[in-house]
Amino acid sequence: MAQEVILTCAVCGSHDNHHRHPDFPITPKQIAQACLDARSAGAAVVHIHVRDPETGIHSGDPELFREVVGRIRDSGSDVLINLTTGWGARFVPGAEDPRAHAAGTTLTTPKRRMRHIEELRPDICTLDVGTFNFGEQVFMNTPAHLRVMAGIAKEIGVKPEIECFEPGHVVMARQLIDEGLIEDPPMFQLCLGIRYASPATAEAMSFMRSLLPEGARWAGFGISRFEFPMVAQAVTLGGHTRVGLEDNLYLSRGVFASNGDLVEKAVRIIRELGADVAEPSRAAQILDLPPRGQSPPPG
C-alpha cells in the first residue's frame, strides 16, 4: 500500500504580510473561500487564522472565527477544520520598563485563547508548545498556560496539533503527554524556517522527528523558498505536510500563488514521490479524530 499523506493548507496566517500579495484573503468570506479552494485542490485539512477585515491585522475575535467556520460548514465541505490558538501569545517588553508591555503585545490568558475552540468545536486546534523569539517579538507559551490549554482541548474532544519550532518544544510536549494532558496518538507539526527558530533543513527535520514519541502522527513544513523542499523531505521521512499563503506567497520566483495553486503543486510532489494524498475521511482515521458531532457539547 502506498504511503498516505495528509496535506494541510494554512490559508492566511498571522504575519503582517498581506500588503505584499495582490489577492491575500483577509475577510471571513475570503478566508472561507480560500479554505474551500484548498479543499478542491486536494487539501484534507485547512489551518485557519482570522484578520481584522478593515486593517488585515491578525485578530483573535471569536466572531470572525465563527463566521469563517460557519461559511465552511454551511457549504457542506468535508474539509477538516484546524483553528489556531496562537493569538494572545505575543509579548513586546516596554523600552523603559521591560516588565510592562509595548505595542504589538497580545498576551492574554490561556482560557481566552481557547474560547473560540470551546464554542466552535473544530476537528483540530493548534497548541504551540514553546516560547521563542519570533522575529522581534517573544512568542510566549509557558508550561502553566499550556497545561490549561491542553486540558481544555482534551475535555472538549478537540485534537491538539502540537506546534514545535525547536527540538526543546518536542521535549515539552512529551511532558504534557506523560502527564495525561494529550492523548494517544499525539499529532505533531514540525515548523521550520522561522527566523531564530529551527532552520528548514533536512537535518533539522530529521533530528526533531527522532525526538517524537513512538506512534506519534507528524507533519513538517518549511516557509518561504523552503516550502516545497520541505514537502518533499517530510514525505520522504514518512510524515505529512503543509503548504499555504501563511508560509509562502509565491508559486515560483516572482509569481504570486493562491492557496489552491500551492496545494496543487504539493499534490504533484507527493504523487511524484509515490505517495497518495489522503481524503478528509481517511485523514480523520489516521489522526484518530472523533466522529463529527460526537465531541462533548458546549457547556
Residue whose entry in the numeric block shows the C-alpha cell 507528524: 218
pLDDT at 292: 75
pLDDT at 296: 53
Low-confidence stretches of the chain (pLDDT < 50) are 298-299
Provide the Cα torsion 33, 38, 43, 48; round to 10°. -50
pLDDT at 120: 98
pLDDT at 291: 81
pLDDT single digits (tens) 42-65: 999 999 999 999 999 999 999 999
pLDDT at 299: 45
The reply to whether the predicted model has a pTM over 0.85 is yes
pLDDT at 135: 87
pLDDT at 228: 98
Q: Which fold has domain 7-287?
A: TIM Barrel (3.20.20)
